Amino acid sequence: MVGSGCSATPVSRSAEPRPIGVFDSGVGGLTVLAALEQALPTESFVYLGDTARLPYGTKSAASVERYALQCAAALVARHVKALVVACNTASAAALPALRQAYPDMPIVGVISPGAKAAVAVTRNRRIVVLATEGTVRAGAYQNAIAQLDAHASVMAVGCSVFVALAEEGWGEGDIAERVARRYLGDLFNRDDAPDTLLLGCTHFPLLRRTLAAIVPAGVSIVDSAQTTAAAVAALIQSDPASADQRGRSTFLATDSPERFARVGGLFLGRPIQAAVVERVDV
């Protein structure tokens, strides 16, 4: 089980405050970073977007696991005190390998927090998960929700084109709406329609307005950003940043800092200057 399955292993203090590492296949995980910054304003973060190998959702589980281990190693080399896997596909495929590689490192994925958020809001216990092909194939959300509510009905829909739309900054408009309608079909126009739509990819919040416009008014749309931030806050209680300091975020990308900054600002909710994005190889 992602997130809740890891224990709050104490982290030794050092003279210099240690940041929290966050990684995703691209810029989608910046939605999680935004929630982390809001929930933990005194903490510093190092965000790594593996934009050179985007998308993860169409890759094999073995490839995603390898990529995740490489991203984690790059962040651990920067002395992070915890890891946040802000990618649903990597959370589904790589958490066991990450925890084996770094047994003393607190590690949080986004699937368990997202499942908890969906189970908390659904009224008819029917949930649709929009995710990448890799996350759907792994059955990650189906399993996580079943552990929370064995009687919940879950339908997972692979929506990998949404990742490309989000990365291009095309979360709204005619193209996004047509793709969304194609994916959802008549799912919400039947007697046993679900009442909850779970965004099972951190890229998908950029399409939230488009989705809200085409599903019935009573459907709840949830993602894992806020609940993931809460899980991280609980996990680092043994090593919090000083209350009198202000945290800062550092950005790394494996391809084109200019593109990362341009599109990433949409996800983070504030501008990112390309000059502050460091290009790295992992």
Q: Which of 6, 71, 159, 201 is catalytic?
A: 201
Q: Is 3 left (phi over 0), alpha (psi -120 to 50) or beta?
A: left
Residue 159 annotated as catalytic: no
Residue 201 annotated as catalytic: yes
Contact indicator for 161, 204 with CB cutoff of 8 Å: no
Angle, CA 123 vertex, CA 4 and CA 221 arms, to 5°: 70
For 45, 239, 242, 247, 258, the CA distances from 18, given in Å and listed in that order, are 9, 9, 11, 10, 27
Residue 173, classified by CB atoms within 10 Å of its CB into exposed (0-12), middle (13-18) or buried (19+), is exposed
List CB contacts of 65: < 8 A, sequence separation 6 or more: 93, 94, 97
Angstrom distance (rounded) from CA 95 to CA 93: 6
Q: Which of 6, 71, 87, 159 is catalytic?
A: 87
Q: Which residues are catalytic?
A: 87, 201
